[in-house]
Amino acid sequence: MGRPPCCDKISVKKGPWTPEEDIILVSYIQQNGPGNWRAIPTSTGLLRCSKSCRLRWTNYLRPGIKRGSFTEHEEKMIIHLQALLGNRWAAIASYLPERTDNDIKNYWNTHLKKKLAKLGGHEHGITSSRHQSITKGQWERRLQTNIHQAKQALSDALSLDKSDNTNSSKKSSETIPVVQNSATYASSTENIARLLENWTKKSPNSSSQSTTTTTYSTSFNNSISSPSDGAISTTPEAILDNQMPLSLLEKWLLDDAVVQGQDGDFMDMGLMGETTADFRTILQF
DNA sequence: AATCAACACAACCGCCACCAC
DNA sequence: GGTGGTGGCGGTTGTGTTGAT
């Protein structure tokens, strides 16, 4: 038998969230912090499943979420992180702190998959439709067999990025379709999210936010905002804790010397499910 | 102006991992 | 070790919007 539903489905409301519901949810989280989602429906009177509350928060109301079109750089990062990690959207999202896993997943499914298919079964050989049926165990094996291709893909992307940097903003406006600002409602939720901006800085509970994306977002932004204070760590722990900006991770992946003679550095660490051996394989290629 | 297809994205569903008991 | 509860994740669906005819 399957496990019982997370909440009483009879009294649960479904469908789009109203601004009023958003305000109730945000108010609760302002006071109590994110987490303990099960308590939210009973505490707030919201006729929503706890899962629905969590999703609404993490995908829409959480501060720091960037909406609108993806930049060319973001697009390339998604393509090549997907090549490295597979359809592990939460892991990919941890390197794009302003984007949610849902956003990235949607963008992949609606834009990038078609785009790559149009390019003719793209050479990277790791992404695309055949990837969808691959199980987690298969992913681990495939990661090892395709690591050469993956690294080459990332290397190519980086060289492209660097050559494109000078005119990337112009090109992105030409190549990336502008996402229409479809919802007047969106602006109201943006206002709600804006209300939370200060709260994230002062709330004692903000440090206990449960999503990896949020955790990374904080450290990522700190690193970006103070690049000269030496706060950026390039230790394996920093990578595994998602505290390393992608640019440094890229350097790690591409700089063979970094991992030479560091056996033991990765013991007893896990990166979102990868085994220590998997991660060592990536770095030692 | 009306209709329809394509698109974009928010939300739901089911499965799984982890944890407490 | 077994069981149940909870949160998290990825796949999929539903719905509103836009563009073409």
Q: Tens digits of per-residue pLDDT, A29-85?
A: 888 888 788 888 888 888 888 888 988 988 888 888 887 788 888 888 888 888 888
| Confidence label for A158 from pLDDT (cuts 50, 70 and 90) | very low
Residue A284: what residue type? Q
- In the prediction, which pLDDT does A10 show? 56
Asked if residue A181 has pLDDT above 50, the reply is no
Higher-scoring residue by pLDDT: A226, A93 = A93
Higher-scoring residue by pLDDT: A131, A117 = A117
- In the prediction, which pLDDT does A84 show? 84
**How far, in Å, CA of A219 to CA of A221, rounded?**
5
Lowest mean pLDDT among A17-31, A71-85, A123-137: A123-137
Classify A36 in phi/psi space as left (phi over 0), alpha (psi -120 to 50) or beta.
left
CA A5 centroid distance within chain:
27
Contact call for residues A206 and A33 (beta carbons, < 8 A):
yes
Rounded (to 5) percent helix, strand, coil in chain A? 65, 0, 35
Mean pLDDT (chain A) is 57
Model pTM? 0.57
Instruction: Report the C-alpha dihedral over residues A77, A214, A190, A112, rounded to 10 degrees.
Output: 20
- CB under 8 Å to A228, separation ≥6 — which residues? none
- CB under 8 Å to A192, separation ≥6 — which residues? A19, A22, A23, A26, A61
- In the prediction, which pLDDT does A111 show? 84
Q: Judging by beta carbons within 10 Å of its beta carbon (0-12, 13-18, 19+), is residue A45 exposed, middle or buried?
A: exposed
**How far, in Å, CA of A223 to CA of A228, rounded?**
9
Nucleotide nearest to A38 (CA to C1'): C6
Lowest mean pLDDT among A113-117, A199-203, A229-233: A229-233
Lowest mean pLDDT among A64-73, A150-159, A174-183: A174-183
* CA nearest neighbour of A130 among A77, A86, A84: A86
DSSP assignment, residue A274?
B
Q: Which CA distances in Å does A227 have to A46, A158, A237, A242?
A: 42, 21, 19, 17
Asked if residue A90 has pLDDT above 80, the reply is yes
Strand B: list positions under 7 Å from protein Cβ.
7-17
- In the prediction, which pLDDT does A238 show? 41
Most confident of A109-113, A122-126, A148-152, A196-200: A109-113
- In the prediction, which pLDDT does A192 show? 55
Residues 16-45 of A with CB under 7 A from strand C: 16, 35-39
Strand B reaches within 7 A of the A118 CB: no
| Confidence label for A118 from pLDDT (cuts 50, 70 and 90) | low
Return the beta strands (E) in chain A as ranges.
none
Strand C reaches within 7 A of the A208 CB: no
**How far, in Å, CA of A272 to CA of A241, rounded?**
9
Phi, psi torsion values for A265, nearest 5 degrees:
-65, -25
What residue is closest to C6 (Cα–C1')? A38
Strand C reaches within 7 A of the A6 CB: yes
Phi, psi torsion values for A274, nearest 5 degrees:
-70, 145
- In the prediction, which pLDDT does A116 show? 75
**How far, in Å, CA of A5 to CA of A215, rounded?**
29
Lowest mean pLDDT among A67-71, A105-109, A186-190, A230-234: A230-234
- In the prediction, which pLDDT does A209 show? 36
Contact call for residues A27 and A59 (beta carbons, < 8 A):
no
Asked if residue A208 has pLDDT above 50, the reply is no
- In the prediction, which pLDDT does A72 show? 85
